[in-house]
Structure 1
Amino acid sequence: MRFRIAVLVFLLACTPARAAFHLALIDEVMSGAGGNANVQLVEIRMLAMFQSSVAATRLTALNCDGTSFAVLLQVPFNVPNSGANVRWLMASPNDATFSAASGIHADFYWDNASAGNIDPTCGMVCWGAPGGFVPPPATWDPSDPNQYTDCVAYGGYTGTRKTMPGYMGGPTAGTPTTSAPGDSTHSLSRSRNTNDNAADFGLACPTPTNNGVSGMPGMIGDFGPCTEPTTTTSTTHTTTTTLRPTTTTIPPGTDLPISGKKLLLKEDPANPAKRKLVAFSHDAGINLGAGNGSPDDPTLGGASLRVHSKAGCGTAGAQACDDTYSLPVGTWKLIGKAGQNKGYIYKDPTLANGPIRSAAVKAGKAHTVLVMGKGSGLGDGVGSDPSPVDVVLKLGAKRYCMSFGGTEKLKVGKKATLQNAPVPGACPP
């Protein structure tokens, strides 16, 4: 009896390591982004930690009546990051084309010419594998929607739908949504999870999000100017508002000291164009202040980033560093719809406005501040130990303040990495 109990305990202990992909949903589908029929994407959103073992799962597209299918991609390896609401991205046709269109890199790609396409007008997209761990692909039928973790039927799809959850409490398809992901401007985006595609999905401006590098959040892309569709139902607005409250009592311009997850300052004395800056916070206290449409909204008032340290610049790195970079108003956009207060994103892949390439501030469960810069326009700050380093991102009238002290890794003249900084007592003057 003791032996049997020991075996049972061992098997239970092993289960989480194997069941490491299926607590996830299809969150966004797009076909023909920016008018290019070959630029397509499917974004997956994790619902819990430890869901990064996605290797050997399949992405499959079915035609309008479900009589034919194409396995677009068998995922070749796992993704580095996991957690509730962490995302990862599959796209086509290749990295060069997709990144040029969206400004970000997908985690995986399929080739439309050889694998097939997501029909822009009607069909069903399925992703995953049967059960709680990925079985060998040759052992299951890719034409059966019930073998997948999640399926999204759209555009009046009339074929067989996913009616059985892949695990207890898992998603099913329900009624196909009448919307389609192929108008070249909007994506088919999830607003909730009721096991009914018609209620759960609608058209929205695309926000494709990759998984990022290990320990860093994913980047959000876009395909140029986009106006949110006016046909979105009030039900979708109400549900989203419930998940992401739109009301606030925070006065405009209220400073917000936050913890710092990581700061990277990288220098190449031989080639200043290779300078790099990454500042990242994942703090539950992150909010949007007075919110969309207020003086704290960078789409109205622009933004700036200040990086200040007591040393690291000048001869032998003995001088203070104090650099401020402009993130002008025209390059910011809302995440989601106006009034939802989900966050803001800044993208300048050509560095037209300065050395800051991208920035994002996300409220709600995401609670993230991320800024990334590169190039010779960045200040030289690692001539000596730069800590403490104050990083202040100002959105409109509101300041988000981090203070990184205590160097984790330092190569004088080359790189400084500072991590896990506590919340400072106040923002700097």
Structure 2
Amino acid sequence: MKKIIYMDHAATTYTKPEVVKEMMPYFTEYYGNPSSIYSFSRESKKAIDIARERVAGAINADASEIYFTGGGSEADNWAIKGIAFAHKDKGNHIITTSIEHHAVLHACEFLKKQGFEITYLPVDDNGMVRLEDLKNAITDKTILVTIMFANNEIGTIQPIKEIGKLCRERNIIFHTDAVQAVGHIPVDVKEMNIDLLSMAAHKFYGPKGVGALYIRKGIKIDNLIHGGAQERNRRAGTENISGIVGLGKAIDMAVKNMDANSKRISKLRDKLIDGLLKIPHTILNGAIGENRLPGNVNVCFRFIEGESILLLLDMNGICASSGSACTSGSLDPSHVLLAIGLPHEIAHGSLRLTLGDETTEDEVDYVLEVVPKIVQRLRDMSPLWDDYLKKGE
């Protein structure tokens, strides 16, 4: 099997061996149902409690404010629908942005059909929300603002603290989808005035199919899943003990190593960006520097299709994407790239490379050797490129 260079960490990460090791006993040895009253089940309950403490510590929350879910999308849906239905007597207006993950956008579309009013804030050409736009969008019917912490496609980090402060001043509940942020950049729910926050373990080297929702103490929210008393009567269903244990271990490791990993990965990211921008007619999407996720690179190559780039990269052993993994089957250009002002024909030529803890400088060098050749090959076959050359632009 040829060597694989994995540069799609925003889609998912592998589960680290230390995480798997800590999970294993809860498959075969400590398999008791945490809801049972006999002593054997206490090991399972204890493991969940430890994981809850770890998650809380990672974002400066209290353990009683952490609720485990089946992933980031469930956490987003619970936050948005739960707040909407619990506060519909106060108002029916929700504010979000045009670049959210589809777990948020589709939840909002569902609520619109239920009679809620949704405002989609625009973003600037770096994908940044303008606070003035948020201020102007708030009405006396606004009950929820949901704005992602960092964008999964272009890596732009939003001014979360300022957004949270504004919402707190206006007595509006603030939720942030922090799936791409947690474990990679500092997150402090108290300092940043966050009321609800979503995360997913598989984005920071934990297992798939498990996540968490932070709900600030005192926040009124309806349940999304009914049927049992688990998670303090708020999220029914027998707990995924091994997954929860893995989430706890993964977030603990991620936070402890965050500074060193972030500096190293940011350096590789900048090298990759600089190298790709040497290819003529290449556009960098998203913010730069500290306003960008450490491992995110997103560019557009004019005159070619992103899907063709991915196929040729795969033939060279490089795993990448053209946007969110959740929309990989779509032929439409990224809604995020359109929202930052790119025309369809340019947005179609996007490439997202996301780096991780195991990414090496040699791998970056290899990508910088392969990508220019692929781009040129595809342009040589492109009628758009041919027209461009004939016009002599």
Same fold (TM over 0.5): no
Normalising TM by the smaller chain, what interval? under 0.3
Higher relative contact order (CA 8 A, sep 6+): 2
Considering only CA atoms, is the larger Rg found in Structure 1 or Structure 2?
A: 1
TM-score by length of 1: 0.24
- Which structure features the higher share of helix residues? 2
- TM-score, normalised by the number of residues in structure 2: 0.25
